[in-house]
Structure 1
Amino acid sequence: MNDSFSLREKVIVVTGGTGILGDSFVNGIVAAGGAVGILGRNAEVAHARADAITRQGGRAVALVADVLQEAELVAARELLLSTFGRIDGLVNGAGGNAPDGVLDPAEDVFKLNIAGMQRVMNLNLWGTIIPTQVFGPALAASGKGSIVNISSMNSKRAITKVLGYNMGKAAVDCYTQWFAVEMANRYGDKLRMNALAPGFFLTEQNRSLLTTPEGGFTPRGELVIRQTPFKRFGQPDELQGALVWLLSDASQFVTGSMVCVDGGFSIFGGV
């Protein structure tokens, strides 16, 4: 492999590192030679994953923090810096949906759960912005840093029911483009920001919405498969190649972009 695709000597922090997709992000970074800070609220999972990587000869540290709590993120940043001495990349993997950010078809469209929608938007948007504010200066100090936000198919297309999540991810896309330009204006090509847009991957949050206990598809899952030319859900490790590319020097002229890893969902017109 060309060395420009390597993450050797790079230190990457992954928020949402205790989730299913976060685990794939962490493993992809370690496989590419990077050291990783596994950041999440679940201390037990964070430490277990970091310990497993260390036992296998990799470099990892558990960072227990909530992405909406700046003080916790500052403490995590200082622990990462004291452990590895630098930070070269940030993956804003924390996010997701919640029941109070959903509008079911039978509900009145003019009686939205505003507080619930705001909570989901806050997690996805401010849960991306606040870690960038906290870890960004360390990336700038490293001399060459890459930030990867996690977008979604929901950001560009209307996906029924999950309004709060749709709005949050659309805002993440706007932020990605805007902030990429601002960093370029201030740091030239030394700091980059892009977004990775997964298609439909099974996680603990959506498994019961898309699949049945017997392993089949729910009606909603059937609609997703019908709209996906590959006719299947994605596997978490299929996100690793695009993520490593965006974090590596191989993508050093790429900023403000959204890379879709979606089995063709975003381009298919349904006919």
Structure 2
Amino acid sequence: MNDLTGRTVIVTGGARGLGASAARHAVAAGAEVVITDVLEGEGRALAAGLGAHARFLRHDVTSEADWRRVADFTAETFGGIHGLVNNAGISAGTTLETESVAHFRKILDVNLTGVFIGMKTVIPAMREHGGSIVNISSAAGLMGLALTAGYGASKWGVRGLTKIGAVELGTARIRVNSVHPGMTYTPMTAAVGIETGEGKYPNTPMGRVGEPDEIAGSVVYLLSDAASYVTGAELAVDGGWTTGPTVAQVTGQ
């Protein structure tokens, strides 16, 4: 059972989309959850709706000072940090040839450096009792995906950083795993025309995009003792997208 009773979990980028779903699932599993985001209005509304087991903090994941403030608040309020979901990220891109250096650096700063600072910040607190870090990568961190120069590079980096953390922290009883969502219906993807429903995304074996709740269930599993011997894993939750081309793609029908 994915039971998080007595655990405290930080969820970054938690105001909406996948992060909000992960926060809801963690609270439902019994955790105390600190939701962080730069989207203050949405984040506070979500925390209020979740009740006494959720708090919200405004948080720029590229800021070491912000990370220290979040970690200190969490430890002082709830007595420790047991889980971290590094979910905050931005997604936009163009071809490798036309991607600007400034935009490339901005994406890496949020998507990769933010994950690094977060891991580095919570490790000392987790050494006291063990813990679980779940880094949200992407299907773009498992394959070469066109038009994602900065985004894809950052998500491959998250995958690699996860492996390093798992190796270094295993004996400290700190597990580190990455989740690799495929195309998922969120406010970010809805803005570029992604739709839910069967047959709306035929280039995946399941023929549809994912829902945030389908990703969040995997996140809570990795946070819980049900995954007590799982570390360094890369969990694709992508409807089979990274498994291989569909029959229709192979046959051209």
What is the TM-score when the length of structure 2 is the normalising length?
Answer: 0.91
SS in 2 for 1:227: coil
* Structure 2 counterpart of 1:103, one-letter code: T
Q: How many residues end up aligned between the 2 structures?
A: 247
Q: What are the equivalent positions in structure 2 for 1:80-229 lying under 5 Å apart?
A: 80-98=74-92, 102-104=93-95, 110-141=97-128, 143-184=129-170, 188=171, 190-211=173-194, 225-229=201-205
SS in 2 for 1:161: coil
Query: How far is 1:211 from its partner?
Result: 3.4
Query: How far is 1:128 from its partner?
Result: 0.6
Q: Following the alignment from structure 2 to structure 1, what is the Cα–Cα distance between the partners of residues 77 and 46? A: 16
Extract unaligned runs of 5+ from structure 1.
none
Runs of 4+ in 1 over 6 A off after TM superposition: none
Q: Following the alignment from structure 1 to structure 2, what is the Cα–Cα distance between the partners of residues 211 and 90? A: 28
243, 246, 250: which is aligned to 1:267?
243
8 Å Cα contact 1:189-1:252 kept in structure 2: no
Extract unaligned runs of 5+ from structure 2.
none
Deviations 1:85-120 (A, max 9, x none): 11100000111213xxx225xxxx545311111111
Q: Following the alignment from structure 1 to structure 2, what is the Cα–Cα distance between the partners of residues 39 and 155? A: 24
2:208 matched residue in structure 1: 232
Deviations 1:151-198 (A, max 9, x none): 1110121221121100000011111111210112xxx15111001111
Q: Following the alignment from structure 1 to structure 2, what is the Cα–Cα distance between the partners of residues 255 and 66? A: 27
8 Å Cα contact 2:186-2:212 kept in structure 1: no
Deviations 1:53-78 (A, max 9, x none): 11xxx511112110001111211222
Q: Following the alignment from structure 1 to structure 2, what is the Cα–Cα distance between the partners of residues 246 and 41? A: 25
Query: How far is 1:6 from its partner?
Result: 0.5
Tell me which moved more, 76-85 or 148-157.
Answer: 76-85
SS in 2 for 1:226: coil
Q: Following the alignment from structure 1 to structure 2, what is the Cα–Cα distance between the partners of residues 103 and 41? A: 24
Answering whether residue 46 of structure 2 is matched by residue 49 of structure 1, we say yes
8 Å Cα contact 2:204-2:245 kept in structure 1: no
8 Å Cα contact 2:99-2:149 kept in structure 1: no
41, 58, 65: which is aligned to 2:59?
65
Q: Following the alignment from structure 1 to structure 2, what is the Cα–Cα distance between the partners of residues 211 and 13? A: 28
What is the TM-score when the length of structure 1 is the normalising length?
Answer: 0.85
8 Å Cα contact 1:39-1:63 kept in structure 2: yes
Answering whether residue 229 of structure 2 is matched by residue 253 of structure 1, we say yes
SS in 1 for 2:242: helix
Task: Tell me: CA distance 1:145–1:211, structure 2 relative to 1, closer, same or farther (3 Å).
Answer: closer
Query: How far is 1:266 from its partner?
Result: 1.2
Percent of aligned positions with the same letter in both sequences?
34
SS in 1 for 2:127: helix
Query: How far is 1:140 from its partner?
Result: 1.6
Q: Following the alignment from structure 2 to structure 1, what is the Cα–Cα distance between the partners of residues 54 and 197? A: 37
* Structure 1 counterpart of 2:213, one-letter code: D
Task: Tell me: CA distance 1:52–1:36, structure 2 relative to 1, closer, same or farther (3 Å).
Answer: same
